[in-house]
Amino acid sequence: MRMPVTSLRLFALLLFACASRGQAQPVPAAPAVPGSVAGLWRSIDDNTSKPQALVRITETNGEVSGRIEKLFPGVSDDPNPLCTKCEGARKNQPVIGMVILSGLKRGRDQNAEEFSGGEILDPDNGSTYRALLTLAEGGRKLKVRGYFGVSLFGRTQVWERVE
């Protein structure tokens, strides 16, 4: 039995409408280069689990650095904050565009998915900490640990790869 053309169109529209009602789940981005931290990362607040910023991480001559590209401010937050609690050259500079990760290098094994030896800045309090980055879940997540002295005394955030 053949359906008239108008019935087929109606069926197709109905099918499309039903399919688009469900929310599509985003496909996690894969790293451009296996074992690389280079790319765009969404930092997630470890207390609220809400996105804080987009950080662009680059690797040049074996050294990793990260710059804030975008912030996700709360309703009452300044959309273009300055780093008022920072010291030195960063004092009162815009947080957007600020380098917050610097000096990190890949572990001894060049295939290692761990980067250390540098520092991370917390623009909220102006403090810098030693930093440790570890790729997880096939490069889709990044464990970012800031600490004093030894890694035991610090906290870890898990960032999500955007691209």
pLDDT tens digits for the chain (163 residues)?
444 444 434 333 333 333 334 444 444 444 456 689 999 999 998 888 999 999 999 999 999 999 999 999 988 999 999 999 999 999 999 999 999 999 999 987 766 899 999 999 999 999 999 999 999 999 999 999 999 987 788 999 999 999 9
List the end-to-end C-alpha distance of the chain, in Å, as a whole number: 49
User: Which residues does 32 contact at the CB level (< 8 Å), separation at least 6?
Assistant: 38, 39
What pTM, to 2 d.p., does this model score? 0.78
Q: Give the SS3 label for residue 35.
A: coil
Q: Which CATH architecture best describes the domain 31-161?
A: Beta Barrel (2.40)
Host H or E run for residue 15: helix 5-21
Could you give the CA distance from residue 30 to residue 131 in angstroms, rounded to a whole number?
23
pLDDT at 109: 74
3-class SS shares of the chain: helix, strand, coil, % to 5: 15, 40, 45
Q: Are 114 and 134 in contact (CB under 8 A)?
A: yes
Least Cα distance to 107 among 99, 98, 116 occurs for 116
Could you give the CA distance from residue 94 to residue 20 in angstroms, rounded to a whole number?
40
Could you give the CA distance from residue 50 to residue 22 in angstroms, rounded to a whole number?
23
pLDDT at 22: 45
pLDDT at 110: 67
pLDDT at 31: 44
pLDDT at 16: 36
pLDDT at 126: 96
Neighbours of 129 (CB within 10 A): 17
